[in-house]
Amino acid sequence: MASLTETPLIETNGLTLHFGGLKAVDGVDFRLHAGEIHALIGPNGAGKTTFVSLLSGRRLPQAGTIALGKEDITRLPAHERVRKGIAYTFQITSVFPRLTVFDNVALAVQSLGPRDLAARTRAALARVGLEGLEAQEAQTLSYGHQRLLELAMGLALNPRLLILDEPTQGLAASEIDDFKTLVRSLVPATTVLLIEHNMDVVMDLATRITVLTFGRVLATGTPAEIRANASVQEAYLGA
Amino acid sequence: MTGAGLKIWTLHLALIAVLFSAQYWLSPYHATNLARIMVLAVFAMGYNLAFGYTGLLSLGHALLLAAGMYAAGLPAQLWGWSAGPAMIAGIAGGGLIAAVLGLLALRTAGVSFMIVTLMFAQAGYLTLLYFAPVTGGDDGFAVAATSRTLLGFDLSTDAPRFLAALTIFAVGLGVSLALVRSPFGRTMVAIRENEERSRMLGYNPFTVKLAALTISGLYAGAAGAAYAILFGYVGASFATIQYSILPMLYVLMGGAGTTLGPFLGALVMFVLIEAATGITTAHQFIVGAALVALILFAPKGILGTVRERWLRWLP
Ligand SMILES: Nc1ncnc2c1ncn2[C@@H]1O[C@H](COP(=O)(O)OP(=O)(O)OP(=O)(O)O)[C@@H](O)[C@H]1O
Ligand SMILES: [Mg+2]
């Protein structure tokens, strides 16, 4: 793991987005270090998806800043952040239902350049275990396979930071084991920010954990520290 | 090339071959009609790239057709340009106006985009009327015979005109097929299917749509210029809303998002109107009824339905 003194891969300061009176993200200071698997946890409606939407550029904040390395990306359009290496996989599966599995992943691959398109696409599919399903329309896949396709699209972008929003939702137990192996194989080349409700997955994978409640950071630390944290117990884990 | 690629290109080449042979077995009257259909099909192929593949429902393509027509026709009229340069000017004119239209209209989407493109096309039409002393207004003007020759061939005569129309059609079809099978073709479809998801894969929807619309404008410009040169007439009536609706009908009839749909749609509509005109003066009604039937029973158009039911490999 990278030393905590070097420039974080992602740093947010005072990041804020309110929906009317609802403080979805409320002054979040957050540091993500290169090479870690960082889990973002918190109860439903805590603001996790909204927070990563700000990181990926799907939404713009009302206040605060986001830096990627030393660069301020607070106002950078989403597609340019993708090109800078921030990939986002959707919580609500968002593949192209009427396109083939191959085309879905090829779209991600070709946005980096046209070289070896077919081979790189097949490689990304093989990493998530979807090889052989290339010619199928995405909408004909099972829900679990669509989650894996979503993951393959994120991987195919060859990102520096991969944001996974509840990736194991709807996966079978055996698929979750494969998923854990896969995520471990990504670091340290790729940094992973993982939103996850399955605590076994979080405790197994994460090198650090940030807990959000009501749009604010309740605690940040190693899995052991978070488990021992009384206010986290009260707000979330004990619930 | 993969097996599917070979099959697809063979199919398209076979169509070109059949069309080439048509000049030998069609009467001159019908051959001239077919030349007209091929030119209109080029217009529709361009519309299809924007609408069928990229999902841009424009109601302003008459502006782009007229841009090509006048960009070719005016230099011919004013400075006696010959067919080659006039054709190139027409293609460039269509592309240029499409790019400007896109820069302004692509800030909107959906219904607003339809309205904005419609307004720009109306503004274009009124501009042509306003400058009637130069443009000829609704009456238009005839293109001089000297501007209708290419490499010594007189394009106002049957055989050269047919071959010129076929050549433009063949190039348009080949480019369109290559485009939709390329990575950019995949990107266009992605924008049509889900713009937000495409953005999160690193694509800028605005630039993709602008490129698609500009390419569409090159096609419209080529069709407008070809019409002026091959049929010898330029007029503001080609900038009316009717010519914005026409390519949409062709594409819907033949199958939006299919490479051969625009031609098939143009052909079927043309034949339908011919037949209807023979039976009744209310031929618009018959065309309308055919379209209602199509929307009800085959909303994906002829080739869209064929692809869905039988030939999954159709591009
Ligand atoms: N577009 C929106 N407009 C209004 N309120 C919104 C919008 N998006 C999210 N919210 C609200 O903001 C809060 C945070 O939502 P968010 O989706 O970020 O939570 P989450 O932590 O991802 O929850 P979950 O674990 O259920 O996915 C919720 O109360 C939600 O209802
Ligand atoms: Mg969420």
What does the domain layout of chain A look like in residue ranges? 1-76+193-239
B201 touches chain A (CB under 8 A): yes
Does A90 or B176 have the greater pLDDT score? B176
Chain A neighbors of B55, CB-CB under 8 A: none
pLDDT digits (tens, 9 = 90+) for B7-27: 999 999 999 999 999 999 999
Contact at CB, B202 and A157, closer than 8 angstroms: yes
- How many Å lie between the alpha carbon of A51 and the closest alpha carbon of chain B? 16
Whole-number Å distance between alpha carbons of B303 and B82:
38
Of A56, A99, A114, the CB nearest to B200: A56
pLDDT value of residue B182: 95
pLDDT value of residue B204: 96
Q: Which of B254, B248, B244 is nearest to B300 (CA)?
A: B254
Its CATH class, for the domain covering A1-76+193-239, is alpha beta
Distance of CA B133 to the CA centre of its chain: 28
pLDDT digits (tens, 9 = 90+) for B289-306: 877 888 888 889 999 999
Distance of CA A75 to the CA centre of its chain: 20
CA B212, B216, B219, B221 dihedral sign is negative
Mean pLDDT of chain A: 91
Contact at CB, B202 and A83, closer than 8 angstroms: yes
pLDDT value of residue A3: 52
Which tokens belong to B255?
């199958």
Residue B191, pLDDT > 90, answer: yes
Model confidence, pTM: 0.92
Whole-number Å distance between alpha carbons of B91 and B107:
25
Instruction: Write out residues with Cβ below 6 Å of ligand 1.
Output: A 19, 22, 24, 42, 44-50, 91
Kindly report the length of chain B: 315
Residue B288, pLDDT > 50, answer: yes
Nearest residue in chain B measured CA to CA from A98: B193
Chain A neighbors of B206, CB-CB under 8 A: none
B203 touches chain A (CB under 8 A): yes
B169: pLDDT confidence band, cut at 50, 70 and 90?
Answer: very high
3-state class (DSSP) for residue B211: helix
Tell me how far the alpha carbon of residue B154 lies from the centroid of ligand 1, in angstroms. Answer: 69
Which tokens belong to A198?
């399955």
Mean pLDDT to the nearest integer, A195-221: 93
Q: Which of B121, B91, B96 is nearest to B224 (CA)?
A: B91
Contact at CB, B199 and A56, closer than 8 angstroms: no
Residue A145, pLDDT > 60, answer: yes
Angle at A140 between CA B301 and CA A119, to 5 degrees: 95
Nearest residue in chain A measured CA to CA from B189: A99
Which tokens belong to B177?
């097929």
pLDDT digits (tens, 9 = 90+) for B94-120: 999 999 999 999 999 889 999 999 999
A140 touches chain B (CB under 8 A): no
Instruction: Provide the b/e sequence for A161-187 (b: ≥16 CB within 10 Å).
Output: bbbbbbbbbebeeebbeebeebbeebb
Q: Give the strand pairing for B153-154 and B149-150.
A: antiparallel
* Alpha helix positions (H), chain B: 3-25, 28-48, 61-79, 83-105, 110-130, 132-135, 158-180, 183-193, 195-199, 205-231, 242-254, 261-279, 283-297, 301-309
Residue A163's alpha-carbon distances to A39, B146, B220, in angstroms, are 10, 65, 43
Whole-number Å distance between alpha carbons of B204 and B195:
9
Instruction: Provide the b/e sequence for A35-59 (b: ≥16 CB within 10 Å).
Output: ebbbbbbbeeebbbbbbbbbbbbbb
Whole-number Å distance between alpha carbons of B46 and B222:
10
DSSP B136: -
Contact at CB, B186 and A78, closer than 8 angstroms: no
Mean pLDDT to the nearest integer, B142-165: 87
Of A80, A107, A153, the CB nearest to B186: A107
Q: Whose CA is nearest to atom 29 of ligand 1?
A: A45
Contact at CB, B202 and A88, closer than 8 angstroms: no
B1: pLDDT confidence band, cut at 50, 70 and 90?
Answer: low
CB of B249 closer than 8 Å to CB of B291: yes
B168 touches chain A (CB under 8 A): no
A238: pLDDT confidence band, cut at 50, 70 and 90?
Answer: low
B190 touches chain A (CB under 8 A): yes
CB of A167 closer than 8 Å to CB of A196: yes
CB half-sphere exposure, A127, CA atoms < 13 A: 23
Contact at CB, B190 and A56, closer than 8 angstroms: no
pLDDT value of residue A239: 47
ipTM (interface pTM) = 0.90
Tell me how far the alpha carbon of residue B229 lies from the centroid of ligand 1, in angstroms. Answer: 60
pLDDT value of residue A4: 53
List Cβ neighbours of A57 (8 Å cut-off, separation of 6 or more): A73, A76, A77, A78, A79, A80, A81, A86
Which tokens belong to B235?
């007029």
Residue B4, pLDDT > 70, answer: yes
A137 touches chain B (CB under 8 A): no
Residue B41, pLDDT > 80, answer: yes
A155 touches chain B (CB under 8 A): no
Residue B193, pLDDT > 70, answer: yes
Which tokens belong to A174?
């055996």
Residue A1, pLDDT > 80, answer: no
Residue A83, pLDDT > 80, answer: yes
CB of B260 closer than 8 Å to CB of B303: yes
Tell me how far the alpha carbon of residue A127 lies from the centroid of ligand 2, in angstroms. Answer: 25
Residue A5, pLDDT > 80, answer: no
Mean pLDDT to the nearest integer, B38-47: 98
B278: pLDDT confidence band, cut at 50, 70 and 90?
Answer: confident
* Alpha helix positions (H), chain A: 48-56, 78-83, 101-110, 117-127, 143-156, 173-186, 199-205, 223-228, 230-232
What does the H/E/C string look like for B281-303?
CCHHHHHHHHHHHHHHHCCCHHH
pLDDT digits (tens, 9 = 90+) for A160-177: 999 999 988 888 888 899
CA-CA-CA-CA dihedral for A134, A137, A140, A145, to nearest 10: 40
Cis link prior to A77 (omega < 30° from 0)? no
Q: Which residues pair with A219 in a beta bridge?
A: A211
Contact at CB, B194 and A96, closer than 8 angstroms: yes
Those of residues 172-211 in A touching chain B at CB distance below 8 A are none
Q: Whose CA is nearest to atom 6 of ligand 1?
A: A19
Chain A and chain B share a number of CB contacts under 8 A equal to 59
Environment class of B30 (CB within 10 Å of its CB; exposed 0-12, middle 13-18, buried 19+): middle
Residue B195, pLDDT > 60, answer: yes
- How many Å lie between the alpha carbon of A58 and the closest alpha carbon of chain B? 8
